[in-house]
Amino acid sequence: MSRTLQSSAVRLIAAPPAQVDVDLLVVPLFEGEPIAESLNGLDSATSGEASRAVTSGELKGRPYDFFFTPVTSEWKARRIALVGAGRASELTLDRLRKLAAAAAMQARQKCIDRVAFLERGGLDGPGAVQAIADGLTLSAFSADQYKSGERLGPPPAEFTVVVPAERGTSIRELGDAVERGCVLAESCNIAKALSNEPSNVLTPREFADRAARIGRDAGLAVDILDEHQIARLDMGLLLGVARGSAEPPRVIVLRHEPSGAPSSPVLGLVGKGITFDTGGISIKPADGMERMKDDMAGGAAVICAMRAIALLRAPIKVVGVVPATENMPGGKAVKPGDVLKGASGKTVEVINTDAEGRLVLGDGLWYAQQLGATHLIDVATLTGACAVALGRAASGLFGAPEDWVQFVRETADRSGDRCWPMPLFEEYADQLRSEIADMVNSGGRPAGACTAAMFLKEFTGGLPWAHFDIAGVAWADETKPYQPKGATGVAVRALAELAFALKP
């Protein structure tokens, strides 16, 4: 007997695998596992093909290896896909999410309509089905909307998470976990779509308009500050960066204020929203500059995390602030040696106009405090130095005090957004000293990611604060089984999870 619960994107059933009527049933296979013995009836349903593939070495269970075979009898699924899951002892929720995403992408490429993924246990039940639903939903994203020729076909029309009929956790709790996974993946996909947009389409005004629609559809309160309102707030750092562009800046404000929420804590999320970064007068090399359309990935993460926070009904107040502008080398552009004054009153000598992200974040962090934030998180593709330090494996994490940073790290890692703590030694402040202003905006090449974070710390008002430098992980340079080339949607899950983990 099976039980079914339908979510917005993925359905959940508790049933024996043989009863699942789909076009493709995906079954994870661990290294060294005798699959025919582990899953009763699978081998006979495939006329021995499952065990033959394993014993012959055709399928070793290594992560993301696939073996497709038709079902010849007994089971209701048309085909079965065995997907390598690595060692059973090394299975994590993050790997399970990636396995589901890889399977869904394979199914999309093969134009398969109805896909089910078998949850085989070994991990927390709600966490496992959330990860699977998340991974399956990620396959809905593609970046080929501007192609006039051949494009990737539509994603599967129906996804199912299959759990054992005897699962102890209630079907309602598992269904809530599926819904959570779908919302998080949908939000990540929206963040990817924003980051993949060309900058002639996604101007600061268009970015703000889309953020407003996303926020209002999710039930958030929305305010969009135009250049006149920004000027009245004396946000001279943001206005300085925007000066060289024909496109006016915007500040996107999204607020989640649930009924009955305590007055504190108020989580403030601040995202860098540079819709294109030429470097300004300190212009970047031409090679790879087209990637700078994704310099608003931190802003996209904040907007889409706020969407998830609202839809999932986080119990605390959360405010999202995204200062958005282009960084262009026009005749009115800020020049090396200029001094800008931020809304906080701090003055900054600009010695490198390509260090613009920290300037707009300085005004953004100040404004989040004016809106009542008691705890601050900022997210930015801030420094190439962080990508050099950590590569494509993790975001850099900075902040203070130490217990808050550790809390943020544990929450982010649990969500699947891996990060690594980086230092904020007082010596880094020496590199930011200016002879004519409160500080300079760049400490030079040594410890570039650390001095950039130290600059941001000056605008946090002593509140608990953490900074994610996502420069190395916001964009995938190559396609992986679970991730197409392009924007990754990093930090959406971490920010959303923090809204549930932070307690009054």
**The pLDDT of residue 2 is above 60:** no
Write out the two tokens for 342.
Answer: 């931020």
For the chain, domains (ranges, CATH) are 3-165+173-179 (3.40.220.10), 197-501 (3.40.630.10)
**The pLDDT of residue 3 is above 80:** no
Write out the two tokens for 387.
Answer: 């990508």
Closest alpha carbon to 473 in 386, 408, 412, 411:
386
Per residue in 259-291, pLDDT (tens digit) is 999 999 999 999 999 999 999 999 999 999 999
| Position with higher pLDDT, 198 vs 168 | 198
**Residue 161 to residue 195: CA distance in whole angstroms:** 29
**Residue 391 to residue 370: CA distance in whole angstroms:** 35
Q: Which residue has the tokens 């246990």?
A: 121
DSSP state for residue 17 in the 8-state scheme:
G
Q: What is the CA radius of gyration of the chain?
A: 24
Write out the two tokens for 358.
Answer: 């920290």
Q: What are phi and psi of 440, to 5 degrees?
A: -100, 165
Mean pLDDT of 373-379: 98
Q: Which residue has the tokens 């539509």?
A: 154
Mean pLDDT of 242-271: 98
pLDDT score, position 332: 97
Closest alpha carbon to 237 in 397, 398, 459:
459
- Indicate left, alpha or beta for 41 from its phi (over 0: left) and psi (-120 to 50: alpha): left
| Position with higher pLDDT, 26 vs 164 | 26
Q: Identify any residues that bridge with 420 across adjacent strands, giving them in sequence order.
A: 396
> Under DSSP, is residue 270 helix (H, G, I), strand (E, B) or coil?
strand
**Any idea what the Cα angle at residue 8 is, between residues 321 and 414, rounded to 5°?**
55
Half-sphere exposure of 228 (CA within 13 A, CB side): 0
**258-226-304-104 Cα dihedral, nearest 10 degrees:** 150
pLDDT score, position 121: 81
Q: What amino acid is encoded at 462 in this protein? A: G
| Position with higher pLDDT, 168 vs 363 | 363
Catalytic residues: 284, 358
> With bands split at pLDDT 50, 70 and 90, how would you rate the model's confidence at 8?
very low
Among 163-177, 363-377, 378-392, the minimum mean pLDDT is found in 163-177
pLDDT score, position 5: 43
**What DSSP assignment string belongs to 198-226?**
-TTTS-HHHHHHHHHHHHHHHT-EEEEE-
**Residue 427 to residue 289: CA distance in whole angstroms:** 32
Per residue in 68-120, pLDDT (tens digit) is 999 988 899 999 999 999 999 999 999 999 999 999 999 999 999 999 999 99
pTM confidence score: 0.96
**Residue 139 to residue 481: CA distance in whole angstroms:** 11
Half-sphere exposure of 293 (CA within 13 A, CB side): 16
Per residue in 325-371, pLDDT (tens digit) is 999 999 999 999 999 999 999 999 999 999 999 999 999 999 999 99
**Residue 99 to residue 83: CA distance in whole angstroms:** 8
Per residue in 406-420, pLDDT (tens digit) is 999 999 999 999 999
